[in-house]
Structure 1
Amino acid sequence: MLSVPSTLTAAKALFRGMAVTVRPFAEQPTLAEADPLMSELLHKEEKRQFEELQLIASENIASKAVLEVLGSALNNKYSEGYPGARYYGGNEFIDQIETTCQDRALELFGADPEEWGVNVYVYIYISGY
C-alpha cells in the first residue's frame, strides 16, 4: 500500500491499480518540510514586502484574515454558479459564505436589496500549481 500526501497523487496511483491511503490534513507536511527552498523564498518575499514601501494599489498588503481565507479549504472547492443554483453539489457552506458577503456589501454601501444585487466574485482567479 502506498501512503500519499495529496489527492492528485492518490488518483494517479489508483489509476495504476495501486492501493493507497491519503494522509489526513493534520498529518501532511508543512511547506517548510515538503519544499524548504520554496518556503525560504516565500519568507524572503514576505520580508521584502514588509520592509519596502510599494506605492502600487494592486500591491496592497493583505491582512492576516484575508490570507487565512485565501489559504483555506475554500481553494479545494469548485463553485460554479450562484447560491442555491450551483452546477456541482456540496456547496451549502460556499452558498452561506457568498450570501453573507453579498449582504455585507449591500449594508456597507447602504443599498436596498430590493433595488440592488451584488456580485462578489473575483474578476479573475489564477492559481499556480
Structure 2
Amino acid sequence: GGNEYIDQAETLCQKRALEAFNLDPQQWGVNVQSLSGSPMNFEVYTALLQPHDRILSLDLPHGGHLSHGYQTPTKKISCVSKYFETMGYRLNEKTGYIDYDQMEILADHYRPKLVVAGASAYPRNIDYGRIKKNVCVKHCFNAVA
C-alpha cells in the first residue's frame, strides 16, 4: 500500500515507452524506475519547474537531503542548487523541530515556486497541513513530500 499512484504512473510510462518504439509487450519489457531517489528528485523538479525557479527545502545540516538543493555560502554543491535557486529552512535548535514560523517568514521573502516538505535525517512528524496552508497556498504550486 501507499504506492498506488506511483504504480499507476509507472505502468503508464512503461506502456508509452513500448508504444513509442512499436515494441510488443509480450516480447519486450521496459524498466522506467529511476536509479535512486536523487535523480528522481531532479526529474520531478525539472518536470515542474523552469531553470532558476526557486526551491525552499530543509537545509542539509538540519536533516534535509543533498538532492534538495544544498549549497554553502560560497559554493553550490548539488546539481539541483546549480540548476535552480535554492534556500534552506532550518530547525529551531532549542526544540529540534522545524521552525515553521521562520519557514513562513523565509517563504514570504524568498517566494519559492516549490517547497520540499521532506527530509532524510529528520525523525519527527512534519506538519504538512501547516506548510500547505501557510506557505504553499501563498507562494508555490506544489509541495513535495
Larger RCO: 1 or 2 (CA < 8 Å, sep 6+): 2
Higher helix proportion, which one?
1
Q: TM-score, normalised by structure 1?
A: 0.29
TM-score (norm 2): 0.26
Q: Which has the larger radius of gyration?
A: 1
